[in-house]
Amino acid sequence: MIGSLRRARPEDSTTIADLIRLAFSRQTVATDPLPSALRETEVSVRAHFDAGGGGVVVEGPVACLLWKEEKGGL
């Protein structure tokens, strides 16, 4: 079971930014330039919320997602 998904709240921003940076810091293949995800901060995650939204899994595996609606999709 994946768990329960809830809408992310502004107070989740620091934890989400930490999780994103951790996930992208563990790449096994070097990229140039480095992933922009490594620059995520509490402030940049809050900006995602202002532009679209986010969600977090609150039970089960740890996960998060961010989205921004664009013309024709996310």
Q: How far is CA 13 from the centre of its chain?
A: 9
Domain residue limits, the chain: 5-67
12 has pLDDT over 80: yes
pLDDT at 38: 94
In the structure, what pLDDT confidence band is assigned to residue 50 with cuts at 50, 70 and 90?
Answer: confident
pLDDT digits (tens, 9 = 90+) for 22-48: 988 888 888 888 889 999 999 999 998
pLDDT at 13: 93
**Alpha-carbon separation of residue 27 from 53, 57, 70 (angstroms):** 26, 22, 28
pTM, 2 dp: 0.73
